[in-house]
Structure 1
């Protein structure tokens, strides 16, 4: 099959990554397809995808016609050289006009859009989705919502490319780590674990602001002041704050609005390869299932994430918040470990740090399961077969 592929290299252009190119483009090539890649810098386009924000709306108004024009030019040139069978994109409404997708289909080219934030940002693709022949959707609970839009969704869960995500023969030098952006409940969870005396380290975009003291009002009220600059002083303050929350609040909504983290646990950004290596360097790799800031709303949304496959595929021991859909992909407790709230997470971390043999058995089983069932090559092959 000859495929015209259009996407930014990363889901978040704020930082440099080849995440989607590694997980979508390369597996399509591995499957034996002839893939023509849209030659266009989409970083600014992907930084401005929300028309509800005035500055982004103005950018979209200027930029959308430019992207559309160049896309059509390149696609028509490729199609004239040798027929294109499939247009495969990771696009937002902000990227392209719906009528352009109709024009591509009128050329006899099938169209499919991959999108992975429909759990809480479906509105960002609601305009273009009905115009594609198919939409690949990893959020099972959003399939009917796509149909309501008039789109044709195909359930296609995320996965990991084993040629990129693989074990490294490295010393397990960290007890507990998390690699990812700082938002939502994540800082609150890390705050809680540290207050329990658990040695956890974080890498990723946005964590530095939690060491700045900007959000320090609550802790200042506790009069911990400069003691927060030391781990011991911070742990004392954390325990005091934890007593302010009842058990239910800790289980359901652990985010602490005044979260401040000790700067020594915040380790900066990692390259793609360094991230994969970190999964091997860690005894326990954390995952979080909640989406964005939905824990502040009446509907806390949980979602299967890319990391749920990246970590086990990389040979890492993985611990993530439980959601029912995960049981379709793993034997919980045998291939990955799930937790229910911060107290359960802390208890399970302590247990598995002490039980290395059991931890190693689960780690190996998770890796084997991913290699067998959860590669992007298998996911995309199945989706293309359904399309056919």
Structure 2
């Protein structure tokens, strides 16, 4: 049985298929994410470990605790971000398989990813596209990580008999129009404001926005559009109930132009029986996740998104047909447990690289 440690909220160890023992290590118990957000700060924390600064000592404690708990682990997976200095990782876990999770790329690649990839034996990614003309798979190979894997970001959406019954019941109970659930990020704000302006009461936004949800009122101060609405924060259960009562889920990625695809919302929508209305990716990579106009609807820009949203609100049977087909596709290919097991099988096949370095250090 292979022992695998992932980064994330700590929970009790558990066994998968009698083949994998999964453990979790939470770096955020020691330091906030901002301390790991760029490579230069990670380097500072590690190289100055003799200083008495609070954060430096907390980082030193993080590394010591990890060694104490996982010195003999078979596989280390930096699931959402890598909290370990690459040189420390090589020196202390030279013969351990190390896999990097490229979750928030392309935006993080030159902030905290590129300087650490060399220390890892493989990587997984969630966006099949990196930029126009190059896939994430090929980009990772270009950066020295040819062993890589696409892991769909459907981590928390598990198909069950109870859930399927709930979805079947929901088809006749969806009175809401269009919904978007998400926090406030960059230029997404202006796109959401424009979509709201043109769809009015048919469109509802929820999420953890600053200033108690009133951040949109201050948009012009930051050079953004004016958004005179409060965005209400909701719990996970409230989100689930809202998803079950709406017809269409608007989705968008961080880039202003077709680039990345496959964020968490892209899977949440069909899982909850919503018709996914999503922006397009570079080189059509969104089509590898859901079939256009069959399992989801994709748009070129906000004007196109508004037109398509209004069309499918008027043509409910066409909207429901796509939503049903999208839900079926999710159940077939993107169930969280199924995707996890496939990933673990792949991860267990990865071999330690850097044979020359191992000869020098081992």
Of 280, 303, 314, the residue aligned with 2:244 is 280
- Structure 2 unaligned spans of 5+: 46-53, 129-134, 350-362
1:316 to 274, 277, 285: 274
Per the normalisation by structure 1, the TM-score is 0.71
8 Å Cα contact 1:131-1:151 kept in structure 2: no
| 2:332 paired with 1:367 | no
Distance in 2 between the 1:39 and 1:92 partners?
11
Please, which of 283, 297, 310 is the counterpart of residue 350 of structure 1? Answer: 310
1:56–1:259 CA distance, 2 compared to 1 (3 A): farther
**Contact kept in structure 1, 2:2 and 2:74, CA below 8 Å:** yes
Return the match for 2:67 from 69, 72, 96.
72
SS of aligned partner of 1:118:
coil
Structure 1 partner of 2:102: 115
Where 1:114 maps in the other structure, the secondary structure is strand
Q: 1:197-212 residue pairs with structure 2 within 5 A?
A: 197-199=199-201, 200-206=203-209, 208=211, 211=215
Task: Give distance in 2, aligned partners of 1:155 and 1:214.
Answer: 42
The whole-number CA distance in structure 2 between the counterparts of 1:310 and 1:133 is 31
User: Cα deviation per residue 1:284-319 (whole Å; 9 max; x = unaligned)?
Assistant: 11100333xxx3xxx763332121112112222211
- Shift of the 54–156 alpha-carbon distance from structure 1 to 2, 3 Å rule, reads closer
Structure 1 residue matching 2:324: 3-state secondary structure: helix
Distance 2:331 2:199 in 1: 35
| 1:125 to 1:372, Cα distance in 2 relative to 1, 3 A | same
For residues 1-388 of structure 1, the aligned pairs below 5 Å read 1-9=1-9, 29=16, 33-38=20-25, 41-42=28-29, 44-51=31-38, 61-76=56-71, 79=72, 84-90=73-79, 92-93=81-82, 95-103=83-91, 105-106=93-94, 108-123=95-110, 124-140=112-128, 141-160=135-154, 161-163=156-158, 166=163, 168=166, 169=169, 171-199=173-201, 200-206=203-209, 208=211, 211=215, 213-216=217-220, 257-264=223-230, 266-268=231-233, 270-291=234-255, 295=256, 301-323=259-281, 324-387=284-347, 388=349
- 2:58 and 2:114 map into 1 onto residues whose CA distance is 19
- Contact conserved, 2:217 with 2:228, CA < 8 A, in 1? no
RMSD: 3.3
TM-score (norm 2): 0.76
Q: Secondary structure at the match of 1:371?
A: helix
Distance 1:30 1:361, change over 3 A: farther
Aligned equivalents of 1:374, 1:367: Cα separation in 2: 10
Tell me the SS of whatever aligns to 2:3: strand
Q: CA deviation at 1:61?
A: 4.6
Query: How far has the Cα of 1:87 moved from its partner?
Result: 2.2
